[in-house]
């Protein structure tokens, strides 16, 4: 074996791999310091080290630049441990911000102050790549932080650097903005306007407001997930589209997202009517059916799943056409939560209905509305302190 070990200290060993001599006659070697309980364990780690080098998988800490390490990180970690959609989402900040900034720097040259200055710069005017004024939103800046954290954690874990420079950088704060939602009166007005819209577009909006399902959950919904007798909708999947892999029907990220939601009677009746329409469409399509074994509630004319951008496009066109108050499609989910809050439904029930992992998540997002509803409830109790007209003095 072209390797040896040296005792360094208590449970510490240096692995040495000899690569011969350079032109000047100087010995060329690669080393790695590891923790091992004894010599036998150290030799096993040496064998792994040698295999890694001879297979071409070894990363030289002294020469590794950020851009090169990102490639290693993608191959050796991201593709094995991160969801394909997460990798795709990471690619834009990496390609347009992180690699242009840090790409040619060696990993050990990137100190905490560089990262602090970088994150600070993201909030400045002119940093955006879409031509819009202002800096990035606080949520986007936090996303850059999380990507850097993930990458440098791996670099430290693989002993390329002593510790992650992100470790001592404070996590950027999120500037909370009041969520735009519809009131109950506005929802009733909206539902009335939807009566004149195509049934599939009308239903996806009504479902978003009455069930609180996320966009991917709505698009991943299949007819087998709906029990018309029990009025329940099983949230079993979320639909994603990844450029390199196409459509992906996946289980939700968390167990709490796997849930059963009871739907209003009127909505169930509309879904029954819509199912008849879809059944007729499938018979007419015949051999042109491209939905395979899936029977999506919302699909193209020949059964193929819809792109994730479709509901938002429908929604924006409807708003532009009707002039109705504009909120984002995702805010229909927030509307579902605030309607329940104003009806006095307990936050725990709302949390489970929305598929939140923790009631704290619900309170962090909708705490303002809960407090507002609580104040209104307290105001109603003021009537108890008003003297009765028939009271005797």
Query: pLDDT digit string (tens) for 150-165?
Result: 999 999 988 888 899 9
pLDDT at 366 over 90: no
Q: What are phi and psi of 24, to 5 degrees?
A: -85, 0
Pick 242 or 216 by higher pLDDT: 216
- 140, 157, 174: which is the final residue of a domain? 157
| Same domain as 216, residue 94 | no
Q: In this structure, are 209 and 345 located in the same domain?
A: yes
- What is the pLDDT, as a whole number, of residue 152? 96
Assess whether 71 and 96 both reside in one domain: yes
- pTM here is 0.70
Q: How many CA atoms lie within 13 A of 257 on its CB side?
A: 15
SS3 content of the chain, % helix, strand, coil (to 5): 50, 15, 35
Question: Is residue 26 a part of any domain in this protein?
Answer: yes
Considering the domain architecture, whether residues 206 and 297 belong to the same structural domain is answered as yes
pLDDT band at 341 (very low <50, low <70, confident <90, very high): confident
123 to 23, 91, 143, 175: CA distances (angstroms): 51, 20, 13, 12
> Is residue 120 one of the residues assigned to a domain?
yes
pLDDT at 379: 67
Whether residue 339 lies inside any domain: the answer is yes
Task: Quote the tokens at residue 34.
Answer: 């590891």
Q: What local confidence, expressed as pLDDT, does residue 233 receive?
A: 96
Domain boundary among 139, 157, 175: 157
Q: Note whether 78 and 222 are same-domain residues.
A: no
Whose structure tokens read 């909206």?
A: 190
pLDDT digits (tens, 9 = 90+) for 221-260: 999 999 999 999 999 999 998 887 889 888 887 888 999 9
In a domain, 356, yes or no: yes
Query: Are residues 281 and 204 part of one domain?
Result: yes
Based on the domain organization, do 208 and 300 belong to the same domain?
Answer: yes
Establish if 108 belongs to a structural domain: yes
- Here the CATH number for the domain that contains residue 196 is 1.10.443.10
Please state the rounded mean pLDDT for residues 76-104.
92
Please indicate, yes or no, whether residues 48 and 78 belong to a single structural domain of this protein: no
The answer to whether residue 384 sits within a structural domain is no
Contact of 239 with 249, CB cutoff 8 Å? yes
Considering 157, 173, 207, which residue would you say is the last residue of a domain? 157
- pLDDT, residue 59, reads 62
Reported as type and span, the H/E element at residue 368 is helix 359-380
Q: What would the two tokens of residue 148 be?
A: 């850097």
Structural domain includes residue 104? yes
Q: Domain limits at 50?
A: 3-54
Q: How many domains does the chain have?
A: 3
Residue 339, classed as helix, strand or coil, is helix
pLDDT at 130: 85
Predicted pLDDT of residue 61: 63
Structure confidence at residue 374 (pLDDT)? 63
Q: Nearest 5 degrees, angle CA 2-CA 163-CA 55? A: 30
User: Residue 28: what pLDDT?
Assistant: 73
- Report the alpha-carbon distance of residue 252 to residue 255 in Å, rounded: 7
Q: Are residues 210 and 305 in the same domain?
A: yes
Whether 215 is covered by a domain: the verdict is yes
Of 327, 336, 333, 329, nearest to 314 by C-alpha is 329
Please, are residues 171 and 145 in contact by the beta-carbon 8 Å criterion? yes
Question: What pLDDT is attached to residue 6?
Answer: 86
pLDDT at 116 over 80: yes
Q: Which ranges constitute the DSSP H helices of 137-264?
A: 138-157, 184-194, 199-211, 215-219
Does 77 share its domain with 9? no
- In tens, the pLDDT along 285-318 reads 889 999 889 999 999 999 999 999 999 999 999 9
Say yes or no: 122 and 142 in one domain: yes
Clarify whether residues 151 and 16 are in a common domain. Answer: no
């Amino acid at each position: 074996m072209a390797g040896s070990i040296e005792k360094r200290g208590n449970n510490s060993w240096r692995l040495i791999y000899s690569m011969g001599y350079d032109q000047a006659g100087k010995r060329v070697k690669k080393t790695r310091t590891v923790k091992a309980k004894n010599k036998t364990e150290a030799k096993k780690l040496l064998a792994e080290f040698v295999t890694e080098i001879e297979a071409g998988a070894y990363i030289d800490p002294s020469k590794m630049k950020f851009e090169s390490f990102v490639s290693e990180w993608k191959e050796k970690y991201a593709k094995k441990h991160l969801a394909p959609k997460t990798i795709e989402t990471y690619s834009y900040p990496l390609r347009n911000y992180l690699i242009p900034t840090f790409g040619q720097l060696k990993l050990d040259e990137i100190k905490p102050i560089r990262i602090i200055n970088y994150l600070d710069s993201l909030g400045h005017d002119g940093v955006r790549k879409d031509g819009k004024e202002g800096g990035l939103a606080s949520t986007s800046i936090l996303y850059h932080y999380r990507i850097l954290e993930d990458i440098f954690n791996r670099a430290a874990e693989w002993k390329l650097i002593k510790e992650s420079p992100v470790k001592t950088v404070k996590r950027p704060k999120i500037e909370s903005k009041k969520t735009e939602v519809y009131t109950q009166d506005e929802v009733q007005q909206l539902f009335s306007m939807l009566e004149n819209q195509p049934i599939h577009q009308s239903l996806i909006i009504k479902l978003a407001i009455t069930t609180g399902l996320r966009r991917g959950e709505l698009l991943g919904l299949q007819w087998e997930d709906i029990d018309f007798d029990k009025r329940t909708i099983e949230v079993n999947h979320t639909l994603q589209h990844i450029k390199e892999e196409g459509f992906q029907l996946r289980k939700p990220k968390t167990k709490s997202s796997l849930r059963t939601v009871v739907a209003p009677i009127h909505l169930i009746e509309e879904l029954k009517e819509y199912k008849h329409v879809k059944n007729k469409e499938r018979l007419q399509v015949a051999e042109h059916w491209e939905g395979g074994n899936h029977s999506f509630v919302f699909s193209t004319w020949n059964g193929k799943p819809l792109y994730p951008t479709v509901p938002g496009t429908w929604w924006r066109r409807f708003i532009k056409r009707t002039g109705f108050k504009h909120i984002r499609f995702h805010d229909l989910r927030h509307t579902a939560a605030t309607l329940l809050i104003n009806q006095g439904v307990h936050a725990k029930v709302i949390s489970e209905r929305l598929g939140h992992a923790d009631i704290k998540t619900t309170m962090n997002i909708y705490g303002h509305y809960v407090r507002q509803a609580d104040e209104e409830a307290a105001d109603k109790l003021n009537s108890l302190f008003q003297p009765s007209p028939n009271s005797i003095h």
